[in-house]
Chain A
Amino acid sequence: MPDDHYEENPLNISEAEMVVAIPSYREAELIGYPASQAALGLKQYFGDKKYVLINCDNDSDDGTKEAFFAADTGDVPQIYISTPPGVRGKGNNFRNLFRKVVELGARAVVVVDADLKSITPRWIKHLGEPLFNDFGYVAPLYVRHKYDGTITNSIAYPLTRALYGRRVRQPIGGDFGFSGELARIYLAATSWTEAVSQFGIDIWMTTLAMNNNIPICQAYMGRPKIHKPKDPGSDLGPMFSQVVGTIFDLMVHSTGYWMRVKWSKPTAIYGFGLGEVEMPPPVKVTEDALVAKFHDGLKQYQEVYPLAVSEPLLIKLREISEMPMEHFDFPTQLWAKVLYDYACAYKTQVVEADELLASLIPLYFGKTLSYVRKTASMSVQQAEEFIDNECVVFEETKPYLLERWSA
């Protein structure tokens, strides 16, 4: 990982109790809004503390740095830190942030996405305040459309909940808070990988907080997360492999922890009382694209599946692939077992990691299609209950993982 970085610190800030950071890559158009809202939040709610606003960037060539410094942030001090030219990755930006946080001696750090359109100053309060009240990690809790965040809903949330026993609804939410102490733990961690230096960073941070027994709470944000949403049927890019690969890597790293976890526990919730809940905007789903990607992918990776999953699962996958589309169903227990088998295959390296993870994508599209069909007439709240029930299935199926992992 790169240790060198570029920094602009116009006011020569050398210490701060509270940091708000905005990671970015080519976000010149949007970064001004979260920067100004974060500055307002610092002034309104943390006025008695020394604070600083930091942009951690990947040497963007679109004027992100200039847009950050030009944002209306009043007298809130700003620092710009960048990875060296050519070094990309959200995780690399965080690595620079961890170092800076430790250098500044900060007690609390709040991170918000650069493309956020719905952030208010209260988000800074809710993500930051628990860090001054014994919590070490604060995950966001916002109402999202039932089709927004399908990797979270079908993989990241149920897996981390079943593995580590903590119910953190948005483990890759992108907006969160962590203590300066936890920044030190992150810097010293030995599980850093190339995937973590990219989009694996969010799940890596949440998981390390869980398996280091850091007190975790969820902060209710009041407003839905409005950013650049994606059709769950569109291309996933490298994000899927980086997130899922990081979950599997961490399973190998923390086997001794998650094998002793049974069922799950809720976390404390901070920040209720914000009045009426605002509903999230709709997310478009192209079912035809999900169907096509499921079937095409099954053919493309037909030689991988017998190596990745057990024979009984292989038979069930064949059965569901032959179902007429109007009756298509990907049962939750089958999905949980597929993910557990994939984790074992990842550990034993029966297939090269990139190909193994790529072969999981068509199955994920199949699972997403099934979820979309089953929740089509559900409200956001009913879909939440549906996901909660799926998580219980993951927990009930965990003995299968324990058996397969130890085989």
Chain B
Amino acid sequence: MPKLLIVDDEEHIRFLYAEELADEGYEVVTHDSGDQLLEMIEAEKPDLVVLDIKMVDYNGLDLLQDIRNKHYDLPVILCTAYDTFKEDMKSIAADFYVIKSFDLTELKNKIKMALETAMPQ
């Protein structure tokens, strides 16, 4: 079962995502900030990260760069309430982005696509 890491500083979002994605058959772990995120990834070895862009003390786009530099091929989906972040070219290092919504259909589709992505080794 693929393991997803949800990174968001809002507790209700983490709860919602964890519940709904667990219902889809994923193993879900959560983290509430950018603090110790790389260590968390190292320890949990997720198959995919769902990353909030705007957290109180962290910029998700900077965290995305940190993740990319250490974990070249780890799929990352950016989540945000606003789409203005796309003006920042850093966002292109994400596999996908979704606008936050209580309807998780788009997020679920993107997770499926990201996990299906196949690259010959």
Contacts and interface: CB of A to CB of B under 8 A. Distances in A.
Contact of A269 (B90, B95, B117): B90
Contacts of B93: 266-269
B119 A220 contact: no
B71 to A, nearest CB: 10
Given A269-B65, A272-B90, A277-B89, A264 B72 contact: no
B56 interface: no
A141 B88 CA distance: 13
Contact of A261 (B92, B94, B114, B118): B118
Interface in A125-177: 141, 143, 165, 167, 169
Interface in A274-293: 277
Contacts of A215: 72
A264 B117 contact: yes
B69 A268 contact: yes
A266 B72 contact: no
A66 B108 CA distance: 61
Nearest to A264: B117
A264 B73 CA distance: 11
Given A215-B72, A269-B90, A261 B113 contact: no
B119 A272 contact: no
A17 to B, nearest CB: 23
A29 interface: no
Nearest to A269: B93
B89 to A, nearest CB: 7
Contacts of B114: 263
B87 A167 contact: no
Interface string B99-121: 00000000000000110111111
B87 to A, nearest CB: 5
Nearest to B71: A268
B75 interface: yes
B89 A141 contact: yes
Contacts of A141: 89, 92
Q: How big is the A interface, by class?
A: 20 to 34
Tell me if A's interface is mostly helix, strand, loop or mixed. Answer: loop
Nearest to B67: A268
Q: How big is the B interface, by class?
A: 20 to 34
Contacts of B65: 269, 272
Tell me if B's interface is mostly helix, strand, loop or mixed. Answer: helix
A167 B92 contact: yes
Interface in B64-79: 65, 68-69, 72-73, 75
A266 B118 contact: no
A263 B117 CA distance: 5
Contacts of B68: 266, 268-269
B72 A268 contact: yes
A140 B94 CA distance: 17
Contact of B116 (A169, A257, A263, A266): A263
Nearest to A385: B86
A310 interface: no
Nearest to B76: A266
A260 B120 CA distance: 6
A227 interface: no
Interface in B10-64: none
A265 interface: yes
A265 B73 contact: yes
A257 B120 contact: yes
Contacts of A263: 113-114, 116-118
Nearest to A267: B93
A341 to B, nearest CB: 24
A253 to B, nearest CB: 14
A134 to B, nearest CB: 9
A374 interface: no
A262 B117 CA distance: 5
Contacts of A272: 65, 89-90
Contacts of B92: 141, 167, 169, 266, 269
B75 A265 contact: yes
B86 A381 contact: yes
Given A265-B73, A266-B94, A269-B65, A165 B86 contact: no
8 contacts: A213-B120, A220-B89, A261-B118, A261-B120, A262-B118, A265-B95, A272-B90, A277-B89
Closest 10 CB pairs of A and B: A262-B118, A263-B117, A268-B68, A260-B120, A269-B93, A165-B119, A266-B93, A381-B87, A257-B120, A272-B90
